[in-house]
């Protein structure tokens, strides 16, 4: 099942700089996209979401961009902080499928002090 793909297994950035995490999808029926953050031995924590009717959503240091024509979304974290170090998952759902989430593989973000 490759409907949601995160091609970078890891990303390392310096504290204070921008982190950009990318996600691609193939299912054109997806209409709601989410980013989750996960620490070891914990469940995914919701960060931010975007509906397919928008191309940008912002919440504090987190901004999600959606490019529907490219079937691509990205999460920008500015400025990055060491506490942001975690695995980040993108997920998608179809409105008709009762909110079932399809997850990407995850990207391990490391923010170095």
Partner 1 sequence: EPEVTQTPSHQVTQMGQEVILRCVPISNHLYFYWYRQILGQKVEFLVSFYNNEISEKSEIFDDQFSVERPDGSNFTLKIRSTKLEDSAMYFCASTRFMNTEAFFGQGTRLTVV
Task: Locate 30 and state its tokens.
Answer: 């997806």
Binding to partner 1 by residue 54, rule CB under 8 A?
no
Q: Which is nearer to partner 1, 69 or 96 (CB)?
A: 96
Q: How far apart are CA 47 and CA 108, in angstroms?
A: 15
Q: Which residues are within 8 A (CB) of 54 and not within 5 positions of it... i.e. 6 or more apart?
A: 66
Q: Select from 28, 45, 67, 81 the one that contacts partner 1 (CB under 8 A).
A: 45
Task: Locate 76 and state its tokens.
Answer: 């920008």
Binding to partner 1 by residue 32, rule CB under 8 A?
yes
Q: Given the DSSP bridges, would you call strands 56-59 and 32-38 parallel, antiparallel or unpaired?
A: unpaired
In which residue are the tokens 């191309």 written? 55
Contact track, partner 1, 79-98, x by CB under 8 A: ----------x-x-x-x-xx
Q: Select from 79, 103, 108, 110 the one that contacts partner 1 (CB under 8 A).
A: 103
Q: Which stretch binds partner 1 (CB under 8 A): 10-18, 58-66, 78-86, 100-108?
A: 100-108
- Interacting residues toward partner 1 by CB under 8 A: 1, 31-32, 34, 36, 41-46, 49, 89, 91, 93, 95, 97-106
């Amino acid at each position: 099942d490759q409907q949601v793909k995160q091609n970078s297994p890891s990303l390392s950035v310096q504290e204070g700089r921008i982190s950009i995490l990318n996600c691609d999808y193939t299912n054109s029926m997806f209409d709601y996209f989410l980013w989750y953050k996960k620490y070891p031995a914990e469940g995914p924590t919701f960060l931010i979401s975007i509906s397919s009717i928008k191309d940008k959503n912002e919440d504090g240091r987190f901004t999600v961009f959606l490019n529907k024509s490219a079937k691509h979304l990205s999460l920008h974290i500015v400025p990055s902080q060491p506490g942001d170090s975690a695995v980040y998952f993108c997920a998608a759902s179809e409105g008709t499928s009762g909110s079932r989430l399809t997850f990407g593989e995850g990207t391990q973000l490391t923010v170095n002090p």
